[in-house]
Homo-oligomer: A and B are copies of this chain.
């Protein structure tokens, strides 16, 4: 089959690899229907994160079950399934604690594991990992479900970590797909005031469509003062959806004393956090890779009911054969997020 690999910095390729096959009785084999390119895929692509040449790529995907192992009980051939970006056994202490991303037997798609920017994927612990959709899934619905595999669940996680409450105020740092989904998640949670901070006018427009009540430019020297003033001293909840030091600094600057920063961007070079600044103002820092599987049932239900539609984050699409174009468009910020058809 064909699968996307990262051969070198900036060198993304679709190559022929061995067809995946069931290995363990708890495996499933899934034919990929739709995949996506994630902002975090760009870190190794740009050489800002280590990788091994030939690493498989893609951790956002949905597909159709093709084969199941002898111990799989909750899935059937033909099921359309949503895959969280991490697989997990569902039984260990971390899984029981609802932190499946810390499952000792689990892992993430890509690298030495199968990736989703491919024709098919072998899924370990298929019962615990995959969520089958009990509905006919047309293309429109498939596009709405795809963001739940990562960016929508990650944006939701930011609001959970930051402690967004009904009627409350949240500042969302970042206007990438995760930041935009955090805005959507904050609206879903009933936040009354949703302040989006980004760098791109087109994304600010989408943020408003998703529920942002205010939008600011991250580089405007007035932004911090305006937010602090208009919130009467800063926001109790700040969703940091970038993962860079500058974003964390901005988050701290707009956080209210006693408030909480929920940080979900994969930290890139954020190794110099000065604890004193958090200590002095009693600002909590809850950083975490989203336990997507924990949130999937509720998010899927909302998408099926028509209450949630994160699909506007896809502003471009390609077929798998043109995967290189998808990375280039994301890298040049010509697209917020690119959908990939297998």
Interface of A toward B, CB cutoff 8 Å:
93-94, 97-99, 101-102, 161, 232-233, 236, 248, 256-258, 260, 263, 266-267, 270-276, 278-289, 291
**Protomer copies:** 2
CB atoms of A287 and B291 under 8 A apart: no
Complex-state Cα separation, A232 to B273, whole angstroms: 29
Cβ of A270: which chain B residues have Cβ within 8 Å of it? 274-276
CB atoms of A248 and B275 under 8 A apart: yes
CB atoms of B275 and A271 under 8 A apart: yes
CB atoms of B287 and A275 under 8 A apart: yes
CB atoms of A258 and B289 under 8 A apart: no
Cβ of A281: which chain B residues have Cβ within 8 Å of it? 99, 102, 288
CB atoms of B275 and A275 under 8 A apart: no
Contact of A93 among B232, B272, B287, B291 (CB under 8 A): B232
Cβ of A278: which chain B residues have Cβ within 8 Å of it? 285, 287-288
CB atoms of B279 and A161 under 8 A apart: no
Residue of B nearest to A291 (CB): B282
Contact of A94 with B276 at beta-carbon distance under 8 Å, contacts A99-B282, A102-B258 already known = no
Interface CB pairs A-B, < 8 A, 23 = A94-B258, A97-B236, A102-B280, A102-B281, A258-B291, A263-B279, A266-B276, A267-B276, A267-B279, A270-B275, A270-B276, A272-B272, A272-B273, A273-B273, A275-B285, A278-B287, A278-B288, A279-B287, A280-B289, A282-B287, A284-B288, A285-B286, A285-B287
Dominant SS among interface residues on chain A:
mixed
CB atoms of A257 and B94 under 8 A apart: yes
CB atoms of A233 and B276 under 8 A apart: no
- Interchain residue pairs A-B with the least CB separation, the first 6: A102-B257, A282-B288, A273-B273, A99-B258, A284-B286, A267-B275
Complex-state Cα separation, A142 to B270, whole angstroms: 47
Complex-state Cα separation, A224 to B267, whole angstroms: 25
Cβ of A258: which chain B residues have Cβ within 8 Å of it? 94, 97-99, 102, 288, 291
Complex-state Cα separation, A161 to B260, whole angstroms: 11
Contact of A272 among B98, B248, B271 (CB under 8 A): B271
Complex-state Cα separation, A270 to B280, whole angstroms: 13
Tell me the minimal C-beta distance from A282 to chain B in angstroms.
3
Cβ of A236: which chain B residues have Cβ within 8 Å of it? 97
Apart from A98-B258, A282-B289: 6 A-B pairs, beta carbons within 8 A: A102-B282, A270-B275, A275-B287, A278-B285, A283-B287, A285-B285
Complex-state Cα separation, A272 to B276, whole angstroms: 11
Cβ of A256: which chain B residues have Cβ within 8 Å of it? 93, 97
CB atoms of A285 and B288 under 8 A apart: no
CB atoms of A285 and B282 under 8 A apart: no
Complex-state Cα separation, A204 to B278, whole angstroms: 30
Complex-state Cα separation, A332 to B96, whole angstroms: 46
Complex-state Cα separation, A232 to B158, whole angstroms: 27
Complex-state Cα separation, A248 to B289, whole angstroms: 20
Q: Which interface residue of A256, A263, A286 has the most chain B CB atoms within 10 A?
A: A286
CB atoms of A279 and B288 under 8 A apart: yes
Complex-state Cα separation, A97 to B258, whole angstroms: 7
Cβ of A232: which chain B residues have Cβ within 8 Å of it? 93
Residue of B nearest to A287 (CB): B279
Tell me the minimal C-beta distance from A39 to chain B in angstroms.
15
